[in-house]
Structure 1
Amino acid sequence: MKLTAASIATLPPRKLPYPDSLLPGLALYVGAKRRTWLLRYRSGGGKQVHDKIGYFIPNAPEGSESLGLAAAREKAREILGRVEAGVPVAEAPIHHPKTGGETVEQSLDKYEKYRTRQGGRIKSLPKTMKALRSALADYATLPVANFTRRDLRRAAEVIADRGSVHAASAFLRYAGPWLKWLVERELIETNFARDVSKPAAVKKRKRVLSDEEIRLVWTAAGSMEGVRRDAAKNYGRAVQLLMLTGQRLDEVISLKYGDILDGKWRLKGEHNKSGRDHVVTFSKTALKIIGTGEADQRVFPGVHGKISGFSRLKKDLDKLSATSGWRLHDLRRTLFTRLVEDLDFPEEIAHAVCNHKQQGLSAVYNQASRERQKAKAWEAWDDRLRVILATEKVVTLAKPLTGLN
């Protein structure tokens, strides 16, 4: 029977190996549990040698330790070439990859349940698991014990090849805790995430919006229109609140009226990235943008629950404002920079306003909420923003867009 890339996965077990018709000496032995590549040749002394050169595992993803037909032929030719040249053939022992047991997909499901049970800061867990499952989709059925550093690197490279170096770097960052958990369960030996370099150096962004860009974006955000339950309009309002408060996007779009009491928004430490309780005192303009509503009502509702379709909405905002090259997260950096540079607030107050996670001894000893100082900073930025928007320069928008969402 002729060996083909398709047939080697379905050949029935038998006592005699299946010889390769293309490369003499190469054969595939199919046992009850394993499919082993064998190579027969004569050594320099004329002694006939039978070597195991690898294993084939059906349905294993490309790049795994499984040797397909082409890879087996390539390895066999390399060995035969060394024999012909009189070079020693001795190699490291070949170990059969583990089969059966927990798969990558099953381990991810169990890891998610574990993290959920642990509680704590799991707000970003859905995003983490979505990224891991997407990147490791080709490895879903692979026994997790066979998942190697090469597999991890290849998965990151595939993401980077699609043009998303940031997503590839994020994937490697998310994979580390998962692999550490696998080590603790003794399913793999080492956490090799630290040994896989990022596909390319990720440049830290330094983008800060100018006064003109602030005017254009603010005006455009207040002019967004939509036909699907005002989702685009609410997105524009949310952008304006981001500009005023410097908070994180997901926290803002998750805001409900019941979270606000006496003009203050209280975020519990377990529900925000810094891990500390954080109070946002809304300025006059912020309160006007928020308005009023029922306790369980979202301040910025989308079509179904939270606002979605951010990529499309951001493109619409860029078109309407005639600006580009900036991200919503840059609004946090803009507020931080303006507080320090324009309004002379200490950096520690700007950090507190943006609710950055404290480092070192400050995380242990500095338990001050700085609520009063933060409130002054937001009010001062509100006043400064009013001055920027009231400039004599005329803000000209592109043609108003309708039906954006």
Structure 2
Amino acid sequence: MEATESPRRTHMLTRKTVTKISVDQLQPGATIWDTTLPGFGVRARTGAKTYFVKIRIGGRQKWITLGKHGPLTPEIARREAFRILGDVVAGNDPLAAKKLKQIESLTAFDRLAEDYVKRVAMKQNRSWKETERIFKRYAIPAWKNRPVSEITRADVARLLDRIEDKNGLVMADRVLAQIRRLFNWHATRDDKFISPIVQGMARVRPREGPRTRILSDDELRALWKATEDTQPTLFGPLVRLLLLTAQRRDEVACASWSEIVGNEWIIPAERYKSKRANTVPLTATATALFGALLKSGPYCFTTDGENPFSGFSKAKNALDRKMLATLKEETATRGGSPDDVKLEPWVLHDLRRTARSLMSRAGVSSDVAERVLGHAINGIAGVYDRHDYKNEKAEALRKLSWLVESIIRSHETKPQLRVVA
């Protein structure tokens, strides 16, 4: 339905009932005005016959195109014309309503989320696929093609409640963070839009200061044993590589086979937080962990052959349960009380901090350890020292691997998979 020009006076005008026969017989340049519904008609031009309805809004006549003959029958076109004329009698402007509907379709949540991922997340966020996954799994099923201007604070709260109940507090906050960014972005492009999200909607209290958690030797032994047999099976190797390479969670989880070159893992700049490529030398153990993975797509860690692994919450919870069971078992073996054993909360990123601390413990110099982590070196050293430190990083990771082996083998409970450098 759109506004169109009036039939030209040079056209041959006929008044009769618009029927399929009369429309089929209509010649180019001719127009039929329907005698049963004033204002409704059809006109023929070379190659097409178009239904229309004439209305009067604010003292001005407007012609609205209903559609072409073929896709539309005379009966359907007449019903649509009758509806439009009824809107006019009721004091409504069909063209304004159509324009509003078009605007709403452009700001429908699913369409807006897709636009945000394309225009913002893909350009600014290394883990944009996780942003896309969160929208598709949690937010779009809830709001679909609903205009964002109609999404209320209560709607957001109800969605977060459902996610918290089913997937936990942390996931609820991750969804909230992505929705907040989307709404804030849309607010910069729409004069009238006001985000319904306000401060205080997060489910987990913000951390005070930087995290300092590292895993103890006992916890590392429990971790290694718990990752011998995990579900999904690729989560165990993923966790071990987090420790043995000291890289970030998404850098490991999104690793592709094209990045593994011999005994090196070359993480491209677009995937790295510092926006610089990072070459990670692989020890024999790390190489073996990658080599044992099933190649079923571009990603090293994938469950469907198309997307990188993303089921962290469920897998991490299962890992925690196994670690706690191992810690209790070892405590009982030593004659202690298993009921007194607790596993302090930790996140996968704590393995990166643990690896950094272990490198210092193994005698790796601070500047080399920082380069293993891919941290930018500030000051004059960062400007003038252009050495790639490849050999030094390889030696640092070997020392890390040796120390992990020493820790794991220092107790009676020894995992079957021996760590080698």
Q: Same fold (TM over 0.5)?
A: yes
Matches within 5 A, 1:8-87: none
1:302-335: per-residue Cα shift (whole Å, max 9, x none)? 5532556555554554555525544433322211
Partners of 1:216 and 1:138 lie apart in 2 by 40
Residue type of the partner of 1:275? Answer: K
Q: Does residue 175 of structure 1 match 2:179?
A: yes
1:182-221 deviation digits (Å, cap 9, x = unpaired): 1332254456757555344133654321112222322342
1:267 equivalent in structure 2: 267
State the shift of 1:370 in Å.
4.7
Aligned residue type for 1:332: R
- 111, 125, 128: which one aligns with 2:128: 125
Question: Is the CA contact (8 Å cut-off) linking 1:165 and 1:202 kept in structure 2?
Answer: no
- Structure 2: tracts of 5 or more residues without a match: 1-89, 94-101, 328-342, 417-421
Counterpart selection for 1:328 from 345, 348, 357: 348
| Change beyond 3 A, Cα 1:106–1:187 | farther
Greater Rg by CA: 2
Aligned to 2:11: none
Amino acid at match of 1:263: N
Identity %: 24
Tell me if the contact between 2:237 and 2:289 (Cα under 8 Å) persists in the aligned partners: yes
Residue in 1 that maps onto 2:112:
107
Amino acid at match of 1:335: A
Judged with a 3 Å threshold, the aligned counterparts in structure 2 of structure 1 residues 243 and 195 are, in CA distance, closer, same or farther, namely: closer
Counterpart AA for 1:265: W
Give the equivalent residue in structure 2 for 1:390: 409
Equivalence map 1:5-404=2 (5 Å): 100-101=104-105, 102-115=107-120, 119-132=122-135, 134-135=138-139, 137-147=141-151, 152=156, 155-156=159-160, 159=163, 164-186=168-190, 188-189=192-193, 195=199, 198-203=202-207, 205-221=211-227, 223-224=228-229, 232=233, 234-291=234-291, 300=300, 302-305=302-305, 306=308, 310-311=312-313, 313-314=315-316, 317-318=319-320, 320-321=322-323, 322-323=326-327, 325-341=345-361, 343=363, 345-346=365-366, 349-356=368-375, 358=376, 370-391=389-410, 393-395=411-413
Query: What amino acid is aligned across from residue 394 of structure 1 in structure 2?
Result: E
Runs ≥4 residues deviating over 6 A = 31-34, 292-299, 359-362
Residues of 2 paired with 1:141 and 1:299: CA distance? 32
The one-letter code of the counterpart of 1:245 is: T
**Distance change >3 Å, CA 390–CA 124, structure 1 → 2:** same
Give the 3 Å change call, closer, same or farther, for CA 32–125 of structure 1 in structure 2.
farther
Report the count of equivalent residues.
Answer: 296
Give the structure-2-normalised TM-score: 0.55
- Residues in 2 aligned to 1:390 and 1:172: alpha-carbon distance in whole angstroms: 43
Give secondary structure in 1 for the equivalent of 2:394.
helix
Name the SS of the counterpart of 1:120 in structure 2.
helix
Asked if structure 1 preserves the Cα contact closer than 8 Å seen for 2:358 and 2:403, the reply is no
Quick one: distance in 1 between partners of 2:252 and 2:313?
A: 17
- Structure 1 residues 285 and 294, CA gap change in structure 2 (3 angstroms): closer
The 1:104–1:236 alpha-carbon spacing in structure 2 relative to 1, beyond 3 Å, is: closer
Alpha-carbon deviation of 1:254? 3.8
Q: Bigger relative contact order, structure 1 or 2, given CA contacts below 8 A and separation 6+?
A: 1
1:161-196 C-alpha deviation (Å, 9 max, x unpaired): 668333343334323432233133225445675755
Structure 2 CA distance, aligned partners of 1:371 and 1:211? Answer: 28
* Contact 2:255 2:301 (8 Å CA) reproduced: no
Once residues 378 and 153 of structure 1 are traced to their aligned partners in structure 2, the CA distance between those partners, rounded to angstroms, is 45
Contact 1:144 1:187 in 2 (8 A): no
Q: How far does residue 244 in structure 1 lie from its aligned partner after superposition?
A: 0.8
1:81-118 CA distance string (max 9 Å, x none):
xxxxxxxxxxxxxxxxx9945322322222233237xx
